[in-house]
Structure 1
Amino acid sequence: MIESHKNRDLEEKIDQYVNGQLSSDEIDELWAELIQNGDQLDYLKTVANTKAVIESEREGAATILGMDRAWSYAAAAVVVLLVSVLAVINMPEFQSAETVEPITSIELDYYRSEDGVMEPNSEQGVMKDALALANRGNTAEAIQMLEQELESADDPAWSAKLHLNIGSLYYNDGSYDQAIRNFQHVVEKQAVDALTREKGYWYLGNAYFQLNQLDKARQAIQNAYELNGAYRRVAKHYLSALATE
């Protein structure tokens, strides 16, 4: 009975974590508990992955069904972080802190207006259509669509997001050199929001890691860590492990 109550409390904390409702200290305490509890790590993985795939399974809808519209941009960043962290965990046993691998794939982003709804008549509708193609396996066509949009893009922030998603598509296709070129464009642009720049460095580091260029991987991940955002904890874990490589 006591154990069952404890598990329910832990699951409530996990739900709060995924929804961005825990403080930094509470997150640290949660991870300390999860490392000792393989079953609850499985629960965390299920919750995180469910949130991450909701949008792609609603690609034809004008509104996102089944999703709380109050789920904020910050909460979305938490889900991306969870998926990245779970990429280095071998369920149900947590691997040694000295062992990491580059992330296997990058979750594809959808961009929404401030009220959480995709604007089908805006330039971001191109992003939605391209990523819908990619989710159906038409990666080359999706890349071509985004590269054509990039040719006419005059907003540096929009160009950065296009490069970020083109790089992500190349990364998921195993074309790491092309991914690196696009991620470098992201981090080099001045008019880029903090999360986009942080993603650019994090993905750039993993692309170098895939090519076994560890010095460049460490530097890029260090840059992501120093931005002190959504990827700080997972970046710190990677830096600690890569320091022994």
Structure 2
Amino acid sequence: MVKYIDIADDIREKIIEQTYTYGQKLPYEYVLCVTYHCNKETMKKALDILVKEGLIVRRRGAGTFVKDYDPSNDDVLKKGDRYGVGLTGKYQGFYRIRSEVVEFSVIPSDLEISKKLQIEEGSFVYHVIRARYLEEIPYVLEIIYMPISVIANLRLENVSNSIYAYIEDELGLKIQSSHKTITGELSTPLEQQYLELSEKEPFFQVEKVSYLSSGVIFEYSLNRYHYNQFEENTVTVHY
């Protein structure tokens, strides 16, 4: 495995096990370089992964600090439970889950999508729209973009089930974290059809950028929830 990924994995484990505790300042970068027998560039790549995951934060003039870690938080995943962030991993065994694939195609990325995925404009991406149901009740409408250069050979059968399971179990990639932005919007005919919303009724949208353990972005998605089905739990820590 690449050196900086090994280093990120080790520091992450220390944060999870609270060897580095909430709010604690990490050792100076040169000390970490000596500890892990690496150069500054390798250490920067390792720490950049943890910054993207929301585990550490850099404070100008002060150093690098551990942020809050909650093992029950779906956005920071423990090893061996990677695709638990997906709907299948979260509810399978508790509710009957059904996916209706509305769109599955390969398209060239436009400027906005390429910026979100950090790829060149025009690079080919999977474009997936699927409605997901719990016990036949509309739960979420997912609009997903994934670069084909990162997620290879995605098939309709994968899209109809758990994409995250395919990524981890068949491709052998490790899903690490996601960054979310939550907004409220008024429904369009698309949400009205698949979320059973009336005209001008609102939905909650979770815009999400998701990362592999290597720090590579593998997904940009817009998850749209019926206002009665949406719940988001967060923790705010003041240092």
Q: Please indicate, yes or no, whether the TM-score normalized by the shorter chain is above 0.5.
A: no
Question: Which one has a larger percent helix, Structure 1 or Structure 2?
Answer: 1
Greater fraction strand: 2
